[in-house]
A and B are shown apart, each in its own frame.
Chain A
Amino acid sequence: MQSHRLKLALPLAIFVALLVFAACSAPAAPPVVQTVVVEKVQTGAPVVQTQVVEKIQTSAPVVQTVVVQATAAPAQAPEAFVFGAQGEPVCLDPAVITDGISGRIINQVYEGLVKFDKDTTNPVPALAKSWTTSDDGKEWTFKLQEGVKFHDGTDFNADAVVKNFDYWGNTKNPQHDAQIKAGQTFEYYEAQFGGFDENSIIEKVEAVDPTTVKFTLRQPQGPFLNNLAMFVFVFASPTALEKYGVDTCKNPVGTGPYKFVEWKPNEQVTLDANADYWDKANAPKMNRVIVRNIPNNSARLLALAAGEINALEGMEPRDVAAIKDDPRFKLLLRPTNTTGYLAFNYNVKEFNDPKVRQAFAQAINKKAIVDALYGGTGLVAKELQPPSLWGYNPNITDWAYDTEAAKKLLADAGFANGLSEVTLNGKKVPLELWYMPVSRPYYPNPKDIGTAMAADLAKAGINVSLQTVDWATYLDRRAKGELPLYMLGWTGDNGDPDNFVCYFFCMSADDKPLSREGFVNDKELSDLLKKAASTIDKAERTKMYQESEQMLHDKILRVFIANNQPPLALGANVEGYIPNPTGTEYFNTVQVKAAQ
């Protein structure tokens, strides 16, 4: 009898919970009463006056009530700025990471020679005061800030710069070797500077005197300064590096505005203000910064509403619109620097026919997807580079959405009865469209977007079956070329077109197709991009990148779906947060004011 009662109790409990939920959430859809904070008057005396206008919306004429509240004592300004992150940092040693969640913390603790300015990807001085470059672009000389100390008291000087570069790029360096043996990789150094030791574009780094450091490059590199501004090329205290070795992950020591205090796994990372910060003009405004790990989108938003955190990233598209209209929150958008696309695997025989690829490009209604599933922060993409990047080609007209044209193209390509099966490496397989299991800035909800794309494709006679698998396996199977058709995207790291276009469409050094391009074999495009990377003149490079976008468009090597401006939600009392296109902001300008 006991178990029988329980069996009834479970569905009943669900029902009651649903009813309660429905009752709670119903008013959220059509707001009947809206509270708008109109003005905050701060008098010199400790009296804070807040004027609140309550607007009551009814079908009858609008009634306005003005409520003036006066609080006797000023609320205490909070000590800490708490940021709600989407996940756990991987490691706090900048040399061995690639993820933005770690990168955001690293940006507060460490500094490099240059950094990205405010809401742009323009490199501006950080630990380097100024720099000069030789005419052939192979020699760079940086003048360093004086009197800068690491958090452990070690002096920052040219020697520290040399030691850090040696740690990153010299495989014989004992700390480098220890990291490799511990299973870490220096992935970004390899990607941005062409490899290690003799393969690296950086031939040598020398300390000319304590405040001057000279780089000699094997060949000129267009995006060199932008690369140096990335959050991975920042300097750790050489003393600490030696002391902690592979444990630098848990013991970051830099020169930045905030000092590392503790990392509670799966909970939070705590940083304290660096009282001796060298750059008094940009000194930290808060005593403490806490980055909390809240993986669930709804839970993170609820934490913000409850005041447990002051800012967050990653929201359900539908929540974005609600936050925009809610006076308790501020909505900030990062400048677009991200592109979501549908990639073809060129080992699939059918995808080597441009007509088939064009059918895909014309079958998908990008505008409807962007309008409905991006919460108003998305833009329709027609190129790999987002419009904010200087290699973007403004003269390209996107393929028009036209189901009938797509059908006709398919018929011309010999698939009059539609396409449901493809030939992958000589084997017939069902045409699968893989959608990502995680939300990323370029695809805030890959399952919904994939479902919408699949319906558009089916209307044109392309019958895909939707598939997914866990994130690591997804990336791995893609790298092995096992996915015939897949959704993925890219967020720019350093504001250089090279980082977008060449990353995918430059073939290997010996001109072999790479898996991250879906094995596309296009030497013409690859040669153009490689030439652009080793050119210094920006006008010339711009022309080449625009040309490459035209080629990508004409050949339909990929279908670009959307650019997104990833949204950030802040409490109304947070000021000075400057959203950066790279997605990893500096918190020294952020200030949390007393609650209103």
Chain B
Amino acid sequence: MSTSITTTAPTAPPVAKSLTRPPRSLWRDAGQRLLSNRLAQLGMVIVIFFLFLAIFVPVLFPYNPRIDSDLASQLQPPSLEHPMGTDEQGRDVMRRIAHGAQASLGVGIGAVLIAVIIGTVLGLVSGYVGRSLDLGLMFGMDILLSFPGLLLAIAVVALIGPGLRNSLLAISIVSIPIYARIARSTVLSLKQQEFITAAHAVGAQGGRILSRHVFPNSLSPILVTATLGIAAAILETAALGFLGLGQQPPYPEWGAMLADSVKYLTSGAWWVLLFPGLMIMLTVLGFNLLGDGLRDALDPRLRAN
């Protein structure tokens, strides 16, 4: 906590603050503001609900999709027994949606986590060291950024083969430059600040300055981008699944479920289409609301209110 106070010092007038109230950490402050934001609350509820599905459903209700098939009860509309109906194999749609949460959220969060770690390290080092390393790395990032994200992900999957793990890899590769860019831009603006110069003057090494002084300052924009990025990654996972490049049958994944159901567009089995689509929409909405709330909460200009 003490670290946060020292590092946030340049962004807020310290003297005035200490006179009016006891110093509060940026994060605690932001947390309070986040909790008082209605839309962010809604986002949080949605996100927690789906996280719960993804983490606990596979443990509490084990399911083996390999042997799940009952053709005799195929495409039944929603009923008490099957609240979301059954699909063309006679499988319970609700069960598959609950178990599909693991794939969608797992890839969404996992891909962003990998991208954040690799991207931030690359961006920090690149920005701090500068010169030809910066030039080379950022040139590479620019090349990656110049492709539409989904198209690049499809190309990567086409190269390394379809599957859930490979789509996670593809989406994380596509997302790396975003975080590298953010981290680098923070470093560039902080490098000229007095407190960094001061750290230099007392003999701190590059690694220490980066990890103790620069990194914590770049955390808030990265956190906001990452939360919104999870939403995008979930959409991309679904898109890859829809194209048959993600999760392979018979394992459930929302995008793949949607793709399998498109053929019923003309024959009225709406439940196999609606529910997976609804789930994708809800999780994306949840992460977007949460991300927006976080951005507002972490905005230093709003801090005075």
A467 contacts which chain B residues (CB < 8 A)? Answer: 248
Contact (A454, B266) CB under 8 Å given A371-B71, A372-B74 = no
Does any Cβ of B come within 8 Å of A68's Cβ? no
Are A28 and B268 interface neighbours, CB within 8 A? yes
* Interface membership of B297, Cβ < 8 A: no
Docked Cα-Cα span, A452 to B88, in Å, equals: 9
The proximity string for A residues 464-494 relative to B, scoring 1 for CB distances below 8 Å and 0 otherwise, is: 0111100000000000000000000000000
Interface core residue of A12, A28, A463 (most chain B CB under 10 Å): A28
A-B contact pairs, 22 of them (CB 8 A): A4-B288, A7-B228, A11-B281, A11-B284, A14-B277, A15-B277, A15-B278, A21-B265, A25-B267, A27-B268, A28-B267, A298-B263, A316-B263, A316-B266, A318-B75, A371-B71, A448-B260, A451-B89, A451-B249, A452-B71, A455-B89, A465-B248
User: Is B110 interfacial (CB-CB < 8 Å)?
Assistant: no
Task: Judge whether B274 is part of the interface by a CB distance below 8 angstroms.
Answer: yes
Given A7-B228, A468-B244, CB of A297 within 8 Å of CB of B263: yes
Besides A8-B285, A11-B235, 13 other A-B contacts (C-beta < 8 A): A7-B231, A15-B278, A21-B270, A29-B77, A298-B265, A372-B74, A445-B263, A450-B249, A452-B69, A455-B89, A463-B66, A466-B248, A468-B244
Complex CA distance for A579 and B69, rounded to whole angstroms: 35
- The CB with the most chain B CB atoms within 10 A, among A7, A322, A369, A450, is that of A7
Contact of A452 among B89, B248, B281 (CB under 8 A): B89
Q: Smallest CB–CB gap between B220 and chain A, Å?
A: 16
Cα distance, A251 to B292, chains bound together (Å): 62
Interface centre among B66, B263, B267 (most CB of A within 10 A): B267
For residue B232, give the distance in angstroms from its CB to the closest CB of chain A.
8
A447 at the interface (CB under 8 A from B): yes
- Is A129 on the interface with B (CB-CB < 8 A)? no
- What is the CA–CA distance of A25 and B266 in the complex, to the nearest angstrom? 7
Q: Are A4 and B66 also in contact (CB < 8 A) when A11-B284, A451-B249 are? A: no
1/0 contact string of A370-383 vs chain B (CB within 8 Å): 01110000000000
Interface magnitude class on chain A = 35 or more
CB-based contact B250/A15 at 8 Å: no
Chain B residues, CB < 8 A from A8: 285, 288
> Given the complex, which residues of A lie within 8 Å of B248, measured CB to CB?
465-467
Tell which of A10, A15, A301, A318 touches B264, judged by Cβ atoms closer than 8 Å.
A318
Question: CB distance B264 to A373 under 8 Å?
Answer: no
In the complex, what distance in Å separates the CA atom of A28 from the CA atom of B267?
A: 7
Query: A454 and B250 in contact (CB under 8 A), knowing A15-B278, A448-B89?
Result: yes
Residue B143 at the chain A interface, CB threshold 8 Å:
no
Flag if A318 contacts B263 (CB, 8 Å). Answer: yes
Q: Are B249 and A466 in contact (CB under 8 A)?
A: yes
Does residue B273 face the partner (Cβ distance < 8 Å to A)?
A: yes
* Nearest CB of A to B297, in Å: 15
Q: Choose one: A15, A27, A322, A373; the contact of B71 (CB below 8 Å).
A: A373
List residues of chain A with CB within 8 A of the CB of B68.
455
Interface of B with A (CB < 8 Å)?
66-69, 71-72, 74-75, 77, 88-90, 228, 231-232, 235, 244, 248-250, 260, 262-270, 273-274, 277-278, 280-282, 284-285, 288, 292
* B250 pairs with A369, CB closer than 8 A: no
Contacts of B69 in A (CB 8 A): 451-452, 455-456
Contact present for A373 and B88 (CB under 8 Å): yes
B164 CB, min distance to chain A CBs, angstroms: 13
Query: Is A316 within 8 A of B264, CB to CB?
Result: yes
- Point out the residues of chain A lying under 8 angstroms from B232, CB to CB: 7
On whether the beta carbons of A368 and B281 are closer than 8 Å, the reply is no
Q: A95 vs B24: C-alpha distance in the bound complex, in angstroms?
A: 84
Give bound CA distance, A452 to B90, whole Å: 10
Instruction: Determine the distance from Cα of A21 to Cα of B284 in the docked complex, in whole angstroms.
Output: 20
B292 touches A4 (CB 8 A): yes
Give the residues from 1 to 37 in chain A that come closer than 8 angstroms, CB to CB, to chain B. 4, 7-8, 10-12, 14-15, 18, 21-22, 25-29
Main secondary structure of the interface of A (DSSP, over half): helix
Q: For the complex formed, measure the closest distance between the CB of A47 and the CB atoms of chain B, giving whole angstroms.
A: 36
CB atoms of B267 and A322 under 8 A apart: yes
User: Which chain B residue has the least Cβ–Cβ distance from A467?
Assistant: B248
Across-interface contacts of A372 in B (CB, < 8 A): 71-72, 74, 88, 90
- B278 near A318 with CB under 8 A, answer no
B42 to chain A, nearest CB (A): 12
B273 / chain A contacts, CB cutoff of 8 Å: 18, 21-22
Are A18 and B292 within 8 A (Cβ)? no
On chain A, the residues within 8 Å of B77 by CB distance are 29
Instruction: Note all chain A residues with C-beta closer than 8 A to B263.
Output: 297-298, 316, 318, 445
- Tell me which residues across on chain A come within 8 A of B266, comparing CB atoms: 25, 298, 301-302, 316, 319, 322
Residues in A whose Cβ lies below 8 Å from that of B228? 4, 7
B258 to chain A, nearest CB (A): 10
Q: Residue among B228, B268, B280 with the most chain A CB within 10 A?
A: B268
**Min distance, Cβ B240 to any Cβ of chain A, angstroms:** 15
Measured CA separation A415–B91 after assembly (Å): 29
Q: How far is the CB of A14 from chain B (nearest CB, A)?
A: 5
- Say how far B38's CB is from chain A's closest CB, in angstroms: 15
List the B residue with the shortest CB-CB distance to A302: B266
**In the complex, A454→B29 CA distance in Å?**
55
A118 at the interface (CB under 8 A from B): no
Interface check A458, CB cutoff 8 A = yes
Residues on B with C-beta less than 8 A from A319 are 266-267
Chain A proximity of B58: nearest CB distance (Å):
18
Q: Is A459 positioned at the interface, with any CB of B under 8 Å from its CB?
A: yes
Q: Assess A25 versus B66: contact at CB under 8 Å? Given A8-B285, A12-B281, A451-B249.
A: no
In the complex, the chain B residue whose C-beta lies closest to that of A318 is B267
How distant is the Cα of A176 from the Cα of B268 in the complex, in angstroms?
A: 52
* Cβ-neighbour of B250 out of A18, A28, A466 (below 8 A): A466
Determine whether the beta carbon of B268 is less than 8 Å from that of A29: yes
Kindly list chain A residues whose C-beta atoms are within 8 Å of the C-beta of B244: 468
